């Protein structure tokens, strides 16, 4: 089964990587879709986000990194995937993710499969990483080392 894991990945966190790696052992093919969102200001442009993911996941041969713009369901159709996979950290994610899953099913009959985040990453988010880093805090336990290096370059 071929699935799509979409997200902003601005930047990718250990939580994202955990969900992608675990998906790669369950599903035959994993497409990671990095969204280009003109309405949302990002710290890293889409090619920087894509390149970080390519580097981090280079040993996972059934994982492919792509970027997309527009509706997720249109990209999912284009990639010919059977389902969308999302990580859930806590109940706070649930309302929003549930609404998106229902909308994506309503738009194009795409099923969403949820993977529970590992407890050690349940509290990690890209926005918190950016905030902690901006105040000089230590993010080494929250993101892959390549992301720490890229954060220093910004």
Q: Is 82 an annotated catalytic residue?
A: no
DSSP per residue, 3-59: EEEEE--SS--HHHHHHHHHHHHHSSEEEEEEEE-TTS--SS-HHHHHHHHHHHTTT
Closest contact distance (angstroms) between CB of 6 and ligand PNS is 4
End-to-end CA distance of the chain: 38
Q: Is 16 an annotated catalytic residue?
A: yes
Phi, psi values for residue 48, rounded to 5° = -65, -40
CB closer to ligand PNS out of 24 and 104: 104
CB closer to ligand PNS out of 59 and 105: 105
Q: Which one from 8, 16, 49, 150 is the annotated catalytic residue?
A: 16
Closest contact distance (angstroms) between CB of 145 and ligand PNS is 21
Closest contact distance (angstroms) between CB of 112 and ligand PNS is 10
CB closer to ligand PNS out of 71 and 132: 71
Residue numbers of the site for ligand PNS (CB under 6 A)? 6-8, 35, 71-72, 100, 103-104
Q: Which one from 8, 24, 42, 89 is the annotated catalytic residue?
A: 89
Tell me how far apart the alpha carbons of residues 26 and 37 are, in angstroms, rounded to a whole number.
29
Q: Are strands 63-69 and 111-116 parallel, antiparallel or unpaired?
A: unpaired
The catalytic site residues sit at: 16, 40, 89, 126
């Amino acid at each position: 089964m071929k699935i799509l894991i979409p997200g902003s990945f601005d930047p990718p966190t250990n939580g994202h990587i955990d969900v992608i790696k675990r998906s790669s052992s369950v599903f035959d093919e994993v497409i990671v879709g990095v969204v280009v969102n003109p309405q949302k200001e990002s710290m890293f442009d889409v090619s920087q986000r894509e390149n970080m993911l390519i580097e981090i996941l280079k040993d996972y041969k059934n994982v492919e990194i792509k970027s997309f713009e527009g509706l997720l369901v249109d990209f999912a159709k284009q990639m010919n995937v059977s389902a969308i996979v999302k990580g859930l950290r806590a109940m706070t994610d649930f309302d929003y993710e549930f609404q998106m899953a229902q909308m994506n099913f309503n738009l194009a009959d795409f099923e969403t499969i949820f993977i529970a985040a590992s407890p050690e990453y349940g509290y990690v988010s890209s926005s918190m990483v950016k905030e902690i880093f901006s105040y000089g805090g230590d993010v080494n336990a929250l993101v892959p080392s390549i992301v720490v290096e890229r954060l220093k370059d910004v």
